[in-house]
């Protein structure tokens, strides 16, 4: 297993006390290379936020059955677009979750596990749960007459928010233990998001959907408990100190 070791990291200012003194003096003597302030930057952001459009839209239902439902038959007078948007968001995240565990499995195969860490079977089981969740949301959308292949605004937002998680899991210099941090963030979001989606489904009178989603919520609680356990084991192992088995690159 790749270990965290002391190495030739020169990113900190303390590496060279002489140069750092000169650098501080220079920074204090010379004004910023471009004019403006934080307030100016905020003003530009506000201008962009007001002037830009929205991040996509929810497509209208594709089927006649869906249109009847969207018109309010089963949606109890609420805006169908909101439920479809949040379903699309969940769909996107569960798909990413599957890919996240696939990437972690590759690291497991490259390095092997560690004491108190995940087994291959556990990682596979969670990956399979995430695929099932994806399929579950897919079916729920189809029952509403919505198109699960459409990228909804919520899917865009969560895709962007979680893009760093996949980068962590796929980066080969980040070891298995470090990659588990991405699982923690994903599973925390998974837990909260399912709970909110269940509340939304109930508010829309979709009791069957809510009941099905509660099963996924149960899975997510187990996922989170496992990831927390693995991370704690990893920390305890690292604190005890293990000899490095892989050469480390300088930062």
Residue 24 Cα distances to 9, 18, 29, 30, 54, angstroms: 20, 10, 9, 10, 43
3-state class of 135 per DSSP?
A: helix
CA distance 13 to 32: 20
Q: Shortest gap between Cβ of 189 and Fe ion (angstroms)?
A: 9
133 lies in the site for Fe ion, by CB under 5 A: yes
Q: Give the pair of three-digit tokens for residue 203.
A: 């508010």
147 lies in the site for Fe ion, by CB under 5 A: no
C-beta separation of 208 from 136 below 8 A: no
Contact stretch for Fe ion (CB under 5 A) within 52-60, 152-160, 167-175, 212-220? 212-220
Contact stretch for Fe ion (CB under 5 A) within 29-37, 102-110, 123-131, 151-159? 123-131
- Which CB atom, from 70 or from 98, has the smaller least distance to Fe ion? 98
Among 190, 209, 227, 230, binds Fe ion (CB under 5 A): 190
Q: Give the pair of three-digit tokens for residue 79.
A: 């805006």
Residue positions counted in the chain: 251
The alpha carbon of 172 is separated from its chain's Cα centroid by a whole number of angstroms, namely 19
Residue nearest to Fe ion (CB): 223
Among 107, 130, 146, 176, binds Fe ion (CB under 5 A): 130
Closest to 200 (Cα-Cα) out of 186, 216, 213: 213
Among 169, 223, 230, 234, binds Fe ion (CB under 5 A): 223
- Which CB atom, from 2 or from 90, has the smaller least distance to Fe ion? 90
- Which CB atom, from 2 or from 219, has the smaller least distance to Fe ion? 219
Contact stretch for Fe ion (CB under 5 A) within 21-29, 87-95, 114-122, 231-239? 87-95
CA distance 209 to 165: 28
Which residues are CB-neighbours of 28 under 8 A, at least 6 positions away?
Answer: none
Q: Residue 204 carries which DSSP code?
A: T
Q: Shortest gap between Cβ of 185 and Fe ion (angstroms)?
A: 11
Q: Shortest gap between Cβ of 180 and Fe ion (angstroms)?
A: 13
85 lies in the site for Fe ion, by CB under 5 A: no
Number of residues that bind Fe ion (CB under 5 A): 8
- Which CB atom, from 70 or from 136, has the smaller least distance to Fe ion? 136
Q: Residue 117 carries which DSSP code?
A: S
CA distance 177 to 152: 33
Instruction: Please give the residue ranges that form the binding site for Fe ion (CB under 5 A).
Output: 94, 97, 130, 133, 187, 190, 220, 223
């Amino acid at each position: 297993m790749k270990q965290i070791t002391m190495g030739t990291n020169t990113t900190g200012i303390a590496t060279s006390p002489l140069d750092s003194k000169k650098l501080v003096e220079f920074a204090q003597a010379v004004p910023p290379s471009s004019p403006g302030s934080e307030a100016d930057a905020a003003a530009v952001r506000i201008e962009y936020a007001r002037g830009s459009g929205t991040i996509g839209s929810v497509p209208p239902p594709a089927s006649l059955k869906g249109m009847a439902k969207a018109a309010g038959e089963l949606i109890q007078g609420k805006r169908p677009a909101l439920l479809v948007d949040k379903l699309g968001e969940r769909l996107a995240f569960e798909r990413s979750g599957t890919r996240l565990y696939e990437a972690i499995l590759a690291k497991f195969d490259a390095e092997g596990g560690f004491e108190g860490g995940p087994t291959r079977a556990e990682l596979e089981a969670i990956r399979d749960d995430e695929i099932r969740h994806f399929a579950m949301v897919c079916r729920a959308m189809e029952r509403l007459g919505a198109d699960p292949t459409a990228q909804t605004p919520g899917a865009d937002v969560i895709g962007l928010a979680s893009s760093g998680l996949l980068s962590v899991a796929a980066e080969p210099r980040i070891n298995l233990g470090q990659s588990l941090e991405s699982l923690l963030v994903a599973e925390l979001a998974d837990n909260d998001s399912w709970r909110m989606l269940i509340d939304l489904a109930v508010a829309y009178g979709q009791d069957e959907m809510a009941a099905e989603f509660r099963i996924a919520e149960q899975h997510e609680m187990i996922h989170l408990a496992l990831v927390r356990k693995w991370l704690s084991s990893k920390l305890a192992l690292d604190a005890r100190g293990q000899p490095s088995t892989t050469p480390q690159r300088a930062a």
